[in-house]
Amino acid sequence: MEALFEKAFVKTLRKHSGIKKQVENKVRMIMEQPLALGEPLKGNFRGFYTYPVKKSFIIIYLYCRACRKKGDDAFVVCSDCSQRGDETIKFVLLEPHDETYGI
């Protein structure tokens, strides 16, 4: 499994260094079971998965294999997807829970 971290994700993590350890743990867990753990989003965020960090943050990520299988790659902007293998997880955003898309 390959993990990619988008700039926005890294930036938020830097800003909230207090949750770094928890985020690292969740990232590891997601990489082991990306589909069993994540909650798939719908509508405009179809193709993305979320997983909570404590109660106050959520991780938003993409799993390229699931994306392609479900045809979600037509909806998500997975910029360099074609250069990545199926076993790629892209950590897109780390968001304070209350600022997120009605989850």
Selected from 64, 66, 89, 92, the binder of Zn ion by CB under 5 A is 64
If the CB atoms of residues 13 and 89 are measured against Zn ion, the closer one turns out to be 89
d(CA 54, CA 52): 6
Q: Kindly tell me which residue out of 60, 78, 89, 94 binds Zn ion, with binding defined by CB under 5 A.
A: 78
Single out the residue of 67, 50, 68 nearest to residue 59, CA to CA: 50
Q: How many residues form the binding site for Zn ion (CB under 5 A)?
A: 3
CB of 10 to Zn ion, least distance (A): 18
Residue 40 CB, nearest approach to Zn ion (Å): 15
Q: Is 60 in the site for Zn ion (CB under 5 A)?
A: no
Contacting residues toward Zn ion, per CB under 5 A: 64, 78, 81
